[in-house]
Structures are given as structure tokens and as C-alpha cells.
Amino acid sequence: MNNRLETFVKENRKAFDIMEPPAGLWAKIELELDAKKTQEAQNKKKPIKLYLWMSVAASIVVVFGIVWLYAGRLQNKDLEIADVNAAYAQKEVHFTGLITEKRDSLAIFASANPELYKKFTADLAKLDEEYERLRLELPTSPNQTFVVKAMVKNREIQLQLLKQQLLIINQVDDYKRVNQI
């Protein structure tokens, strides 16, 4: 096949030489090459811009990660009773459950004796305020065990107070029933 092509070119060389390229061909080729060079230069700039955007995005992600970790550490400054003493934490959970139960019972009797209920809830509110003060003091206290004991004792006093209040309400109800007969 190569031989045929060679012979064809040799035989028709004069026909090839007759045709000359147009005058503006080389200028057109040069313009196309220049256009390709400028396009390649622009394409090279895009990866730099993309790299810049990727680095900015990575920086933002890193900043958000650091802020998230820092905020998480600030939130973990809320010290729980279980962090200081697990046994006291169990007592506190037990007392809190009983207190909730007794408060619900006390609320049921509130409709029968609203004045008495207001007095009882005022006493409980004072104890709740004291408990909240102790809870806020716990993370900064040098003697955290002492504060935890005071918190558990506060819950125990709340429970005893609620039991006494329920006993008083039951006695008042019994007295009213006896006097109605």
C-alpha cells in the first residue's frame, strides 16, 4: 500500500505543485494557534481559582470545627452529681422521682384547698431555689462532695416536706368529712 502511495505521489508531483496555499492560510493558522494559547492560559487560571476556593472552603470547615469543639467544652462545664459521686447521684434520682410523684398528688388536692396549696408551693419554691443555687455552685466549688451532699439533702428535705404536706391535707379532708356528718 505504501508503494502505491509513493508511486502516485511521484507521478502526480506536478499536480501537487500547481496548487499553492491561499495567501491568508498561514495568518489564519497563526491566529488559531494564538487563540489556543490564550484559551490554555485561561484554563490554567481556573485551577488556581478552584484551588483558592477549595482552600477557603477547607479553612471555613476547620474554623467551624474548632468553634464546635470549643462550644462543646463550654457546655460540658455543667458538672453533674454523677460526675462527683455515683452513690449520691442514685439517691438524688430516687428522691427526684418521689418528689415528682408527691407533687402530682399535692396538685390533685389543690382544688379542694387552694390557699393551703399556695402556702405549700411557696415552701417548695424556696427549696427549689436553694437547690438551683447549689447546682450552679457545684462546678466552681473547691469541695464538690460537700455541695453534692447538700443537694441530696435538699431533695430529701423536699420529699419530707411533701410527705408532711400530704399528711396535713389528708387530716384536713378527714376533719371536714367528720364535721359534715
Q: What would the DSSP string read from start to end of 85-102?
A: -HHHHHHHHHHHHHHHHH
Of the two residues 2 and 131, the one the predictor is more confident about is 131
- Say if residue 148 is in the same domain as residue 161: yes
Q: Indicate whether 176 and 99 sit together in one domain.
A: yes
CB of 141 within 8 A of CB of 80? no
Q: What is the dihedral of CA 25, 30, 32, 36, to 10 degrees?
A: 160
Distance CA 160, CA 76 (A): 32
- In this structure, the answer to whether residues 3 and 66 fall within a common structural domain is yes
Burial of 32 (0-12, 13-18, 19+ CB in 10 A): exposed
Query: Do 109 and 58 reside in the same domain of the chain?
Result: no
pLDDT tens digits along 94-151: 888 888 888 888 888 777 778 878 888 888 889 889 988 988 888 787 888 888 888 8
87 with 153, same domain: the answer is: yes
SS3 content of the chain, % helix, strand, coil (to 5): 90, 0, 10
pLDDT interval class at 19 (50, 70, 90):
low
- Which of 32, 147, 15, 31 shows the shortest CA–CA distance to 81? 147
Examine the domain organization and report whether 39 and 90 are in the same domain. no
Are residue 22 and residue 85 in the same domain, yes or no?
A: no
pLDDT of res. 130: 92
**Distances, alpha carbon 164 to alpha carbons 43, 99, 120, 167, in Å:** 84, 12, 10, 5
Q: How many Å apart are CA 155 and CA 170, to the nearest integer?
A: 23
Could you give the number of structural domains in the chain?
2
Q: Which residues contact 112 (CB under 8 A, 6 or more apart)?
A: 169, 173
What are the pLDDT digits (tens) for 47-100? 566 777 788 888 898 888 888 887 766 554 555 665 666 777 788 888 888 888
